[in-house]
Amino acid sequence: MARLVNAALTSSALPALPPRLVCLRDGRDYRLRPLGPADAPRVAEMFATLSTESIRARYGYLIHDMSPERATRLVDVDPQREAPLGIFECDAAGREGRLWAMGRLVHAPDNQSAECAFLVHDSQRRLGMASTLLKYLRVLGRRRGLPRLFAQVRRENKAMLNVFIQNGARLHFAPDSDVVEIDIPLRLPKILFDKGAPAPSIPGMSSPEKKGVSLVAVVADLVFVAAFFSFFYYVLQSHVPSNDPTMIRFWATMAAACMSGVFWLALQMLKTVFRFQRASRK
């Protein structure tokens, strides 16, 4: 399995995440996209106004000067092993402005997981930038075939811990450690009719497409239910404890009708599960 993932990653076709506009809590659109070598000046610009607390919280130490070389190292990465994403300001004409947030995946040596980390500019907090980055890092992780993401966060970093909690990660607190281990499983659980298709992108996961009621489906349902009713009406007559033909017909009809109702419900549930399964594979 590990070899398969490695082989997939060393092939030239690395899963990509095309740039997209994301609308955040302030009602404004921002551009989310992978970072590349050309973004080094934007990184330096972001660091120039970051608070020392933010830098320390992210890197564990203080970076006094973000030199061009250092900024380049953050964005000019080996794409097989790292995937940095950024959120940029975006004006009405679609032109990119300042870089406000960064999130990245760093593959573990065995390619069975990747560490994720985040940095949001002090002036842009609580807009959902970290949560949005986490959402798309998850998409990227799945596309890269990773079974899980992980992170290590200091206990006192309530902001980061809350981002993970709010986004469904598992937190492991060890009594004698300052660091909380975060685990984010990426594989969808195996469910009925699941053939292990590639993980879906975000729109595919949200909900199956709603379709209008088709006449053919209604007629097919009616035929199934009528056949079910007739069969049980016939079978149940001999089970009604009466000699009165009217009573026998009445109770056989009632019992078969109840059972047909349950059958109809079960049929609808089965069709809904099928629809979800089909939608989640798109």
Ligand X SMILES: CC(C)(COP(=O)(O)OP(=O)(O)OC[C@H]1O[C@@H](n2cnc3c(N)ncnc32)[C@H](O)[C@@H]1OP(=O)(O)O)[C@@H](O)C(=O)NCCC(=O)NCCS
Q: Given CA atoms 47, 50, 55, 61 in this order, what sign does their dihedral have?
A: positive
Interface segment toward ligand X; rule CB under 6 A; list 50-58, 141-149, 237-245, 254-262: 50-58
Least separation in angstroms between residue 8's CB and ligand X is 27
Cβ 97 to ligand X, closest distance in Å? Answer: 17
Site mask for ligand X (CB under 6 A), range 51-80, x = bound: ---x--xx----------------------
Nearest-approach distance from CB 36 to ligand X, in angstroms:
21
Judged by CB under 6 A, the residue of 66, 163, 184, 199 near ligand X is 163
C-alpha span between 212 and 223 (Å, rounded): 20
Least separation in angstroms between CB 139 and ligand X: 16
CB 118 within 8 A of CB 133: yes
Cα angle at 214 between 213 and 216, to 5 degrees? 145
When asked if residue 131 is in the footprint of ligand X (CB under 6 A), the reply is: yes
Structure tokens at 71: 């900024």
**CB of 181 vs ligand X, minimal distance in Å:** 12
Q: Is 129 in the site for ligand X (CB under 6 A)?
A: yes
Q: Which residues contact 158 (CB under 8 A, 6 or more apart)?
A: none
Name which of 167 and 272 has its Cβ closer to ligand X: 167
Determine which residue in the list 40, 43, 130, 169 makes contact with ligand X, applying CB under 6 A.
130
Rounded Cα–Cα distance for residues 170 and 180 (Å): 10
DSSP 156: T
Contacting ligand X within 164-193 (CB under 6 A): 166
For residue 149, what is the enclosing H or E element?
strand 148-154
**Angle formed by the axes of helices 129-143 and 158-166, to 10°?**
60
105 is a contact residue toward ligand X (CB under 6 A): no
Least distance from C-beta 44 to ligand X, angstroms?
17
Query: Contacts with ligand X in 132-161 (CB under 6 A)?
Result: 151, 153, 157-160
Whole-Å CA distances, 200 to 3, 141, 178, 261: 23, 12, 36, 35
111 near ligand X, rule: CB under 6 A: no
Q: Considering the complex, what minimum distance in angstroms separates the CB of residue 166 from ligand X? A: 5
Cβ proximity to ligand X, 102 vs 256, nearer residue: 102
Q: Which is nearer to ligand X, 58 or 281 (CB)?
A: 58
**In what side-by-side order are the strands of the sheet with 113-120?**
20-23, 29-34, 82-90, 96-107, 113-120, 148-154, 179-185, 170-173
User: Which of the ranges 89-97, 106-114, 117-125, 203-211 carries the binding residues for ligand X, by CB under 6 A?
Assistant: 117-125
Length of the chain: 282
Number of residues in contact with ligand X under rule CB under 6 A = 23
Give the H/E segment covering residue 97: strand 96-107
Is 106 or 159 the residue whose CB approaches ligand X more closely? Answer: 159
Binding site for ligand X (CB under 6 A): 54, 57-58, 117-120, 125-131, 151, 153, 157-160, 162-163, 166
